[in-house]
Structure 1
Amino acid sequence: MATLTLKRLNDTFTIHSFPANSEIPSEVFKQHMYFIAKTNDEVSVVAPSTLMLLSEDSEPDWQALEVVGPLDFSLTGILSKISTILANKKISIFAISTFDTDYVLVKSNKIDSAITALTNNNYQVI
């Protein structure tokens, strides 16, 4: 696989958990970037930390690395390789995939270590 480029986003994000039957707060849709996932058990919302939501639970202070795309669906192992590099350094991630690319969220206090680990493994981080 060719070396990939990751872009560090400026925002700090909070991951929110809501009950499965919750409506998405309308303020979420006004954000320049957000992610929503719904299962039978919960609704997860990832939004900039500047947005205060009354969620059931939340995990603040995440920063994002975007895999510069768009990525072809035939590519394999992108998240696996990145997550393995970070796991070997004891850095937890929260991964999000979209149609075009992947995002790897890392706690803010680990972002510099994550970038170092990735650049030491031939990733470019801009």
Structure 2
Amino acid sequence: MSKQTLQLLEQEFTIHSLDCDATVPQAVLNSKLYFIAKTADELSIVCSSDISVDSLAAESHWRALEVLGPLGFSLTGIMANISGVLAKANVSIFTLSTYDTDYILVKQSQIQAAMNALKKDGYLLL
């Protein structure tokens, strides 16, 4: 399988945990890039760190690597390969997927190590 091209996004992200019945802030909905997941137990929001969210818990200082797509549903092993490279480099990740592509969130303190490991393994980073 050929290696994908990844792009480091400029903004910093925060991962928020809210009560499952919480309302998503309008500032999140108005932003250019955000992710929302809801279960019976929680509401999770990933958004730019400059957006204020009244959450139960939050993890800040995440950077995002976008796997440039679109990626077809028939492709296999993309996230397994990338996460394997990062695991070998002792880089912790938080992953998100959309219809067209995947995002790998890495703590700001580990982003350079992540990019170095991916480059060494043959990934192109923009």
Single out whichever of 59-68 and 25-34 deviates more from structure 2: 25-34
Percent identity over the alignment is 47
Deviation at 1:119, TM superposition (A): 0.4
Q: Show the counterpart of 2:39.
A: 39
The one-letter amino acid of 1:118's match is: L
Q: Show the counterpart of 1:121.
A: 121
**CA RMSD, Structure 1 to Structure 2 (Å):** 0.6
Deviation at 1:83, TM superposition (A): 0.6
Counterpart-to-counterpart distance in 2, 1:63 and 1:117: 16
Instruction: Give secondary structure in 1 for the equivalent of 2:32.
Output: coil
Q: Show the counterpart of 1:106.
A: 106
Q: Show the counterpart of 2:22.
A: 22
Deviation at 1:89, TM superposition (A): 1.1
The one-letter amino acid of 2:6's match is: L
Instruction: Give secondary structure in 2 for the equivalent of 1:74.
Output: coil
| TM value normalised by structure 1 | 0.98
Task: Report the number of matched residues.
Answer: 126
The one-letter amino acid of 2:117's match is: A
Q: Which runs of 4+ in 1 moved over 3 A?
A: none
Counterpart-to-counterpart distance in 2, 1:122 and 1:105: 19
Q: What 5-or-longer segments of structure 2 have no aligned partner? A: none
Q: What 5-or-longer segments of structure 1 have no aligned partner? A: none
